[in-house]
Amino acid sequence: MAETRHYEPRGSLILKILSVILIVVLIASVLYPEKLWKKQDSLIEASRLKMDNINFIAQRHYKVHQTYVSDLDSLIRFIQSDSIMVRRAAFEMDKMSLYNAPYDSFIVGFADKFHFTEIEVLPFSQGRAVGAEEAETATVDSLVLKMIPKPEFENSVKPILYKMVSTSGIHYYYPKRGVEDKTVIVWGDGKLERDYLPFEEYLIPSTEYVLTVPLEGIEIDPISGEEYRLNLNASLDIEGKLEYKLAADGEPENPVLGKELYTNLFVNRLARQARARLDTDMQRDSTLYAMQLELQSDYFDVEIELLTPRKTTTVESNTEIVVPVDSVYAYQDSLRLRDMLFTTMSDSLIRVWTEEQATQDIIASLSFTESVGITKIDTVGVTIRPPMDDTYKLASDSFLDKIFSVGPIENPGNIENNDLSWSESR
Determine, yes or no, domain membership for 6.
no
What separation in angstroms does the CA of 252 have from each of 248, 256, 366, 391?
Answer: 8, 8, 6, 57
Determine, yes or no, domain membership for 140.
yes
What's the start-to-end Cα distance of the chain, in Å? 86
Determine, yes or no, domain membership for 5.
no
Choice among 175-179, 208-212, 281-285, 299-303 with the minimum mean pLDDT: 175-179
HEC string of 307-356 equals CCCCCCEEEEEEEEEEEEHHHHHHHHCHHHHHHHHCCCCCCHHHHHHHHC
Interatomic CA distance for residues 194 and 424, integer angstroms: 36
Q: Is 383 within 8 Å of 414 (Cβ atoms)?
A: yes
177-184 average pLDDT score: 68
Rounded to 5 degrees, what are φ and ψ at 76?
-65, -40
Please indicate, yes or no, whether residues 77 and 222 belong to a single structural domain of this protein. Answer: yes
Instruction: Write out pLDDT tens, residues 95-133.
Output: 998 878 889 999 999 999 999 999 999 999 887 888 766
| Mean of the per-residue pLDDT values of the chain | 87
Interatomic CA distance for residues 391 and 411, integer angstroms: 5
Interatomic CA distance for residues 362 and 355, integer angstroms: 11
Least Cα distance to 261 among 338, 365, 331 occurs for 338
Please indicate, yes or no, whether residues 364 and 265 belong to a single structural domain of this protein. Answer: yes
Determine, yes or no, domain membership for 47.
yes
Determine, yes or no, domain membership for 290.
yes
Residue 257, pLDDT score: 94
Written as one string, the DSSP assignment of 15-50 is HHHHHHHHHHHHHHHHHHHHHHHHHHHHHHHHHHHH
Q: Residue 103 CA to chain centroid, in angstroms?
A: 42
Q: Is the pLDDT of residue 400 over 60?
A: no
Determine, yes or no, domain membership for 244.
yes
b/e map of 241-252 (b: 16 or more CB within 10 Å)? ebebbbeeeeeb
Instruction: Write out pLDDT tens, residues 28-76.
Output: 555 556 777 788 889 999 999 999 999 999 999 999 999 999 999 999 9
356-366 average pLDDT score: 93
The residue segments making up the domain with residue 43 are: 11-84+206-228+387-425
Predicted structure pTM score: 0.76
Q: Is 420 within 8 Å of 260 (Cβ atoms)?
A: no
Instruction: Write out pLDDT tens, residues 271-290.
Output: 999 999 998 888 888 888 77
Interatomic CA distance for residues 49 and 420, integer angstroms: 11
Interatomic CA distance for residues 359 and 363, integer angstroms: 6
Please indicate, yes or no, whether residues 312 and 288 belong to a single structural domain of this protein. Answer: yes
Q: Is the pLDDT of residue 3 over 60?
A: no
Residue 31, pLDDT score: 56
Written as one string, the DSSP assignment of 389-409 is SS-B-PPP-SHHHHHT---PB
Q: Is 260 within 8 Å of 392 (Cβ atoms)?
A: no
Total Cβ atoms within 10 A of residue 185 = 15
Please indicate, yes or no, whether residues 167 and 281 belong to a single structural domain of this protein. Answer: no
Q: Is the pLDDT of residue 9 over 60?
A: no
Residue 38, pLDDT score: 86
**Which residues have a Cβ under 8 Å from the Cβ of 151 and sit 6 or more positions away?**
117
Please indicate, yes or no, whether residues 304 and 285 belong to a single structural domain of this protein. Answer: yes
Please indicate, yes or no, whether residues 323 and 245 belong to a single structural domain of this protein. Answer: yes
Domain end among 181, 200, 219: 200
Count of structural domains within the chain: 3
DSSP secondary structure letter of residue 129: E
Written as one string, the DSSP assignment of 179-244 is S--S-EEEEESS--EEEEPP---EEEETHHHH-SS-STTTTB-TTTSSB-EEEEEEEEEEEEEEEE
340-369 average pLDDT score: 92
Please indicate, yes or no, whether residues 272 and 343 belong to a single structural domain of this protein. Answer: yes
Please indicate, yes or no, whether residues 273 and 345 belong to a single structural domain of this protein. Answer: yes
Please indicate, yes or no, whether residues 221 and 253 belong to a single structural domain of this protein. Answer: no
Choice among 26-40, 143-157, 379-393 with the minimum mean pLDDT: 26-40
Please indicate, yes or no, whether residues 131 and 275 belong to a single structural domain of this protein. Answer: no
Please indicate, yes or no, whether residues 241 and 120 belong to a single structural domain of this protein. Answer: no
Determine, yes or no, domain membership for 54.
yes
Residue 4 banded pLDDT, cuts 50, 70, 90: low
Determine, yes or no, domain membership for 311.
yes
Interatomic CA distance for residues 107 and 176, integer angstroms: 13
Rounded to 5 degrees, what are φ and ψ at 251?
-80, 145
Q: Is 407 within 8 Å of 386 (Cβ atoms)?
A: no
Please indicate, yes or no, whether residues 211 and 74 belong to a single structural domain of this protein. Answer: yes
